[in-house]
Amino acid sequence: MEDVTNQITEINGAFDILWILIAGVLVFLMQAGFTLVEAGFTRSKSTINIIMKNVMDLCIGSLGFWAIGYTLMYGDSIGSFIGTPSLFFNTEGEMHNLFFQTVFCATAATIISGAVAERTKFSTYLILSLVITVFIYPISGHWVWQGSGWLTNLGFVDFAGSTVVHSVGGWAALVAAYLVGPRIGKYTDGKSNAIPGHNMMYGALGVLILWFGWFGFNGGSELAISGEHAKNVSNVFITTNLAAAAGAIVAMFYTWIKYKKPDVSMTLNGALAGLVGITAGCAAVSNGGALAIGAICGLVVVLAITFIDEKLKIDDPVGAISVHGVCGALGTILVGVFAIDGGLLYGGGFSKIGIQAVGVFAIGAWAITTTFIVLFILKKTLGLRVSEKDETEGLDITEHGMNAYPDFRLNEK
């Protein structure tokens, strides 16, 4: 009898591992999604540079998180602030967790790429990617996901990483886009000029692949599928999907009303905004709550993109700051409103909102401060951006010596 109990435990253990591996593979493909979205929403002359940045985020993330990042995040807590580091994580029976967390880490790093596209030095970018992977992301991640971090102790909830992953990437993107400065020609006479992306199909395919991968991102964050977990994961699938759909629809109708035409890039960003927004609360809210969070994020992302572009005059070619930073923060705070257990709408008062806000601000401050320091040093040393001449010619040629589409005739730049 004991033998049977052991066997059943073993079955459920292997079953959970299978799910984590599959979910991780889905998240892995999100790297292709990010690459497609960034390239599609920018000019053809930056395609190769974008490919290199995104592939290197994945490579650096894979090596860096294994080398040190994972234990900084999940090692025994030192003062609820940081994990005990240990080099080259190889604890027997933990490789599925390493894999799943590695692809999450690569996601955080790659968010920045879009915001600094088309003008940033490749070497500088690689160093920033490394620092985020092995330092910035794991430490704030420790606060929430290691189990005894100070934000966990406070009761902060971020199920799959609206804040831990997305807003960390989004705030780092904000600092980076601000420090790097806008692309040549983006602002003239105090006016923001649209610089159209070169392939909307890449954008759409990228978003659909991201949406696809997000079922692994959010569903996999249950970290199990056996027994009752199967039901929880199913619920997460539905909240995730409803929020994405609502975000896209609201963004589409808003642009339709405001600009007279339903806009494709805003619609796609609306879907992403819904996905980012629901990530924190996907296991905590009802289907109706997910719909509301998605819809709110779908509206806010359009407003935020316009505000950052036109008022703050920060050039974020793909809207990464708004999608991941703003909607990541907003979605996390909205858990305090819509959580069935303790949310404002369920009679929980304002305390949950307050705790969520503390986490959002603390992690935002951490990401902004550390990214600022790193980029300040890089600015004084390597430099942040390429020369005017190189930028005008395009990073594909000047940084990588190649043209992404040599057979095709291009319009004048």
Instruction: Scan residues 21-50 and list those touching its own copies (CB under 8 A).
Output: 21-22, 24-26, 28-29, 31-32, 35-36, 39, 43-45, 47-48
Q: Pattern 370-399, binding to its own copies, x per CB under 8 A?
A: -----------------------------x
Residue identified by tokens 């990401």 is: 367
Candidates 147, 185, 227, 349: give the one binding its own copies (CB under 8 A).
Answer: 227
**Interhelix angle for 351-380 vs 122-131, to 10°?**
140
How would you label 57-96 residue by residue, b for 16+ Cβ within 10 Å and e otherwise?
Answer: bbebbbbbbbbbbbbbbbbebeeeebbebeeebeeeeeeb
Choose between 3 and 189: whose C-beta lies nearer to its own copies: 3
Candidates 267, 279, 332, 370: give the one binding its own copies (CB under 8 A).
Answer: 267
- At 367, the amino acid letter reads A
Choose between 177 and 233: whose C-beta lies nearer to its own copies: 233
Contact 134, 72 (CB under 8 A): yes
Q: How far apart are CA 87 and CA 102, in angstroms?
A: 15
**Beta strands 187-188 and 82-83, pairing class:** unpaired
Nearest to 388 by CA among 233, 223, 185: 185
Minimum distance of its own copies from residue 228's CB (angstroms):
8
Question: What 3-state DSSP class applies to 120?
Answer: strand
Contact between 287 and its own copies per CB under 8 A:
yes
Q: Which of residues 288-317 bind its own copies (CB under 8 A)?
A: 288, 291
Q: How far apart are CA 19 and CA 272, in angstroms?
A: 24
Contact between 318 and its own copies per CB under 8 A:
no
Contact between 84 and its own copies per CB under 8 A:
no
Q: Which of residues 234-253 bind its own copies (CB under 8 A)?
A: 234-235, 237-238, 241-242, 244-246, 248-249, 252
The CA R_g of the chain, rounded to the nearest whole Å, is 21
Contact between 356 and its own copies per CB under 8 A:
no
Nearest to 114 by CA among 317, 274, 368: 317
For residue 385, report the phi and psi dihedrals to the nearest 5 degrees: -125, 160
Q: How far apart are CA 34 and CA 103, in angstroms?
A: 13
Residue identified by tokens 């629809």 is: 249
Choose between 7 and 153: whose C-beta lies nearer to its own copies: 7
Q: Which of residues 144-203 bind its own copies (CB under 8 A)?
A: 196-203
Candidates 2, 14, 161, 392: give the one binding its own copies (CB under 8 A).
Answer: 14
Contact between 139 and its own copies per CB under 8 A:
no
Candidates 71, 265, 356, 371: give the one binding its own copies (CB under 8 A).
Answer: 265
Q: Pattern 90-119, binding to its own copies, x per CB under 8 A?
A: x-xx-xx-xx--x-----------------
Choose between 29 and 358: whose C-beta lies nearer to its own copies: 29
Q: Pattern 51-70, binding to its own copies, x per CB under 8 A?
A: xx-xxx-xxx-xx--x----
Dump the DSSP string for 61-94. Answer: HHHHIIIIIHHHHHSSEETTTEEPP-SS---TT-
Q: Pattern 203-222, binding to its own copies, x per CB under 8 A?
A: xxx-xxx-xx--xx--x---
Q: What angle do CA 61, 67, 71 make, to 5 degrees?
A: 95
